[in-house]
Amino acid sequence: MKIFYKVYNKPGCSFPEKVYEDAMMLEFKRENIPAIPQYAISVLISENLCPN
C-alpha cells in the first residue's frame, strides 16, 4: 500500500492509468518486489470469448 500511495500522491490524479501502472512497476523494481504488468487474459461470457 505504501508504494501505491507514493505513486498516486506524487503526480496527482489526472493522468491516464498507464502512467500509474508504469510508475508502480518502477517502484516495485526499486523495492525488489516481483510484479507482472497488465497482460491480456481470455474471458468467457455466456460461451463467447470477450476481446481484450
Mean pLDDT of the chain: 84
Nearest to 26 by CA among 38, 17, 37, 15: 37
- Report the range of poorest mean pLDDT among 2-6, 41-45, 46-50: 2-6
Question: For residue 32, what pLDDT is reported?
Answer: 96
Question: For residue 11, what pLDDT is reported?
Answer: 66
Banded model confidence at residue 27, pLDDT cuts 50, 70, 90: very high
4 or 31, higher pLDDT? 31
Mean pLDDT of 47-52: 80
